């Protein structure tokens, strides 16, 4: 009994000591945490759920990239041994298959045709691609026509040989040929009494022997500091039926060094031209140096430089012009804005003038050659595309130009033209707008066009003679099927003006305005539209049949005064590919 009571007192004493120790330990822990030790009661109202507070949640996504710090170099030892199995089998042989093409490719063709107005056409084009890196070829063309007006005749012949070869780091190409164009001074001009002033239209013919060659470095995509260059040579001998001769030899080249995002280079050229006529001769030579630096990035291209131009020969003059351009991708691949400012000397050549107007009179004291000068040419616009189906370009420009050449009826020979120049103390100005558009509507229809607006502010001349303020050229092509193709062209030119200084020339129904005190008259040449269309049917892979209609509206319009163009003319024939 006494032992049991002692045991109870022992248990009680042990419990009191244990409680005292636990309270002391709790107070010691509370003191370690910096918080006071308290005794609170705890009421359990729900099951325990381990929820992290927002403050301890991880806010960073894990990096799932598996990066290997060390890439071991593995080696393989592959035994090149023949496995012999004595089962009667033998090595399989490759069965050669005959080569076949899905489409017959041809490099050569011949075309013949005929039509009304005495039209005859013949063409032959030959080209060889026997060598992978070399191409050689040549061509011969002939066309002649005769209009309804007396001696309204035209003929054209072309012969040429060309070649191109890739020689390692450079590409060499060139062409040599002969062009001839023949016509007559068929201008329908009369005096004040109605009598013809051109009773016997004289013949005119232009012969052009030419050569062109170029050596160009090939582009290396892997070179970050590429050095590129080019050298080009051009030469021609040009003459007409009246002993007017023009010979020219020109050398041009460029060098360019790429340094990171910079390109440093220069364009250099020399043009040596001589003109001779029965009573006229001229040495007209021009040298140019255009150094530049270009900053180029993925969405921009900025070029800064200068253009040094020296004229020498019978007269000498030196000019320095600014040269700067910028191209910025407003919306890459869809819209680029561009702009620039520059200037230059424009060589006036007999060859280019007579290609534009073949009825130029003989050169002399009153009909001479002079270069024009672009004192300032400022331009800007926007261009871009939407894939391969839509492309556009719109450009506005402002030009200050000196000695601009125009054509005027020659006194005494009103069926021929003289050159007159826009002279004055100040340069004349041209403000213009150009637009281009190319659209592939579908796999069947493709259309395109170009529109030009020009506004002239001249110092001396009354008008910009024979230069339209508006000009539109449009084209369309329709692939009706794999064998049938149809195309069309439209040319529209706005109203122009011609100058007549000969008081003895009758102007009939032309709208005229008296200008000046010397009896000069301004003649209004109406606007015109020229619509043409053609079709081709591929009868076989090698033979095609074609037809073409020119001036379908049948307008006897005039590009130059007294020289109406051909009316409706039709030509058709066959072509053969081989």
Q: Residue 333: its pLDDT value, please? A: 80
pTM over 0.75: yes
Residue-wise pLDDT for 465-493, tens only, equals 999 999 999 999 999 998 999 999 999 99
Q: Other CB atoms closer than 10 Å to residue 397's CB: what's the count?
A: 17
User: Rounded mean pLDDT of 294-298?
Assistant: 90
Q: Report which of residues 11 and 522 the model is more confident about.
A: 522
Top-level CATH class of 110-577? Answer: mainly beta
Given a cut of 70, is residue 6 above it in pLDDT?
no
CA 20 to chain centre: 100
Confidence of residue 81 (pLDDT cuts 50, 70, 90): very low
Q: Report which of residues 517 and 548 the model is more confident about.
A: 548
Q: Report which of residues 407 and 425 the model is more confident about.
A: 407
Exposure b/e, 399-410, CB count within 10 A at least 16 = b: bbbbbbbbbbbb
Q: Residue 29: its pLDDT value, please? A: 44
In the beta sheet, which residues pair with residue 303?
294, 325
Q: Residue 519: its pLDDT value, please? A: 79
Given a cut of 90, is residue 536 above it in pLDDT?
yes
Q: Residue 18: its pLDDT value, please? A: 52
Confidence of residue 16 (pLDDT cuts 50, 70, 90): low
User: Rounded mean pLDDT of 521-541?
Assistant: 96
Residue-wise pLDDT for 85-113, tens only, equals 444 444 445 555 554 444 556 789 999 99
Q: What backbone torsions phi and psi does residue 543 show, to the nearest 5 degrees? A: -115, 130
How far apart are alpha carbons 214 and 172 in whole angstroms? 6
Contact 574, 545 (CB under 8 A): yes
Handedness of CA 166, 168, 170, 176 (dihedral sign): negative
Q: Report which of residues 272 and 442 the model is more confident about.
A: 272
Q: Residue 31: its pLDDT value, please? A: 44
Confidence of residue 15 (pLDDT cuts 50, 70, 90): low
Q: Residue 389: its pLDDT value, please? A: 87
Given a cut of 50, is residue 570 above it in pLDDT?
yes
In Å, how far are 370, 487, 514 from 403, measured between CA atoms? 7, 40, 24
Domain ranges of the chain: 110-577
Q: Residue 82: its pLDDT value, please? A: 46
Given a cut of 80, is residue 424 above it in pLDDT?
no
Given a cut of 60, is residue 80 above it in pLDDT?
no
Residue-wise pLDDT for 488-505, tens only, equals 999 999 999 999 998 899
User: Rounded mean pLDDT of 289-306?
Assistant: 95
151: exposed, middle or buried (Cβ count in 10 Å: 0-12, 13-18, 19+) = middle
Contact 560, 356 (CB under 8 A): no
Residue 144's nearest CA partner among 569, 528, 536, 534 is 569
Q: What percent of the chain has pLDDT over 70?
A: 81
Q: Helix (H, G, I), strand (E, B), or coil: what is residue 446?
A: strand
Q: Report which of residues 356 and 29 the model is more confident about.
A: 356
Q: Residue 154: its pLDDT value, please? A: 97
Residue-wise pLDDT for 38-66, tens only, equals 444 455 555 545 554 444 444 444 444 44
Q: Helix (H, G, I), strand (E, B), or coil: what is residue 30?
A: helix
User: Rounded mean pLDDT of 323-349?
Assistant: 95
Q: Residue 73: its pLDDT value, please? A: 53
How far apart are alpha carbons 569 and 117 in whole angstroms? 7
Q: Residue 226: its pLDDT value, please? A: 81
Handedness of CA 189, 454, 421, 404 (dihedral sign): negative
Given a cut of 60, is residue 181 above it in pLDDT?
yes
Residue-wise pLDDT for 200-257, tens only, equals 999 999 999 999 999 999 877 666 678 899 999 999 999 999 989 999 999 999 999 9
User: Rounded mean pLDDT of 130-157?
Assistant: 94
Given a cut of 80, is residue 271 above it in pLDDT?
yes
């Amino acid at each position: 009994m006494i032992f049991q009571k002692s045991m109870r007192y022992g248990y009680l004493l042990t419990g009191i000591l244990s409680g005292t120790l636990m309270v002391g330990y709790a107070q010691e822990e509370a003191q370690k945490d910096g918080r006071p030790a308290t005794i609170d009661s705890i009421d359990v109202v729900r099951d325990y759920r381990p929820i992290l507070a927002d403050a301890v949640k991880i806010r960073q996504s894990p990096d799932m990239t598996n990066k290997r710090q060390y890439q071991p170099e593995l080696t393989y030892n592959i035994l090149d041994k023949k496995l012999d199995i004595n089962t009667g089998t033998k090595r399989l042989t490759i069965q050669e298959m005959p080569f076949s093409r899905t489409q017959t490719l041809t490099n050569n063709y011949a075309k013949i045709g005929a039509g009304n107005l005495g039209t005859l056409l013949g063409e032959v084009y030959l080209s060889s691609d026997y060598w992978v890196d070399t191409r050689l070829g040549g061509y011969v063309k002939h066309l002649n026509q005769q209009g309804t007006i007396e001696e309204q005749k035209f003929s054209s012949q072309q012969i040429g040989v060309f070649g191109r070869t890739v020689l390692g780091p450079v590409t060499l190409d060139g062409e040599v040929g002969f062009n001839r164009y023949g016509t007559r001074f068929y201008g329908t001009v009369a005096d004040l009494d109605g009598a013809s002033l051109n009773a016997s239209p004289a013949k005119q013919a232009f012969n052009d022997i030419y050569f062109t060659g170029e050596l160009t470095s090939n582009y290396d995509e892997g070179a970050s500091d590429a050095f590129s260059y080019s050298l080009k040579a051009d030469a021609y001998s040009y003459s007409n039926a009246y002993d007017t001769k023009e010979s020219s030899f020109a050398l041009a080249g460029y060098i360019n060094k790429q340094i990171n995002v910079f390109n440093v280079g220069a364009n250099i050229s020399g043009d040596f031209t001589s003109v001779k006529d029965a009573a006229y001769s001229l040495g007209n030579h021009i040298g140019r140096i255009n150094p530049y630096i270009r900053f180029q990035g993925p969405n921009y291209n900025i070029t800064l430089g200068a253009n040094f131009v020296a004229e020498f020969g019978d007269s000498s003059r030196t000019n320095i012009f600014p040269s700067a351009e910028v191209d910025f991708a407003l919306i890459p691949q869809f819209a680029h804005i561009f702009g620039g400012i520059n200037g230059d000397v424009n060589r006036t050549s007999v060859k280019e003038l007579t290609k534009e107007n073949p009825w130029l009179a003989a050169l002399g004291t009153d009909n001479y050659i002079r270069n024009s000068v672009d004192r300032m040419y400022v331009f800007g616009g926007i261009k871009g595309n939407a894939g391969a189906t839509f492309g556009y370009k719109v450009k506005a420009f402002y030009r200050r130009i000196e000695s601009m050449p125009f054509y005027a009826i020659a006194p005494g020979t009103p069926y021929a033209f003289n050159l007159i120049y826009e002279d004055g103390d100040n340069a004349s100005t041209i403000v213009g707008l150009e637009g281009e558009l190319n659209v592939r509507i579908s796999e069947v229809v493709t259309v395109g066009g170009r529109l030009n607006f020009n506004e002239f502010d001249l110092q001396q001349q009354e008008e910009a003679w024979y230069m339209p303020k508006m000009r539109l050229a449009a084209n369309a092509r329709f692939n009706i099927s794999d064998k049938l193709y149809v195309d069309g062209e439209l040319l529209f030119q706005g109203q122009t003006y011609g100058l007549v200084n000969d008081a003895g020339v009758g102007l009939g129904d032309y709208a005229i305005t008296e200008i000046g005190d010397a009896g000069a008259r301004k003649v209004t040449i109406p606007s015109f539209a020229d619509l043409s269309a053609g079709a081709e049917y591929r009868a076989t892979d090698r033979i095609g049949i074609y037809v073409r209609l020119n001036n379908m509206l049948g307008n006897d319009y005039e590009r130059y005064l007294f020289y109406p163009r051909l009316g409706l003319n039709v030509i058709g024939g066959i072509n053969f590919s081989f």
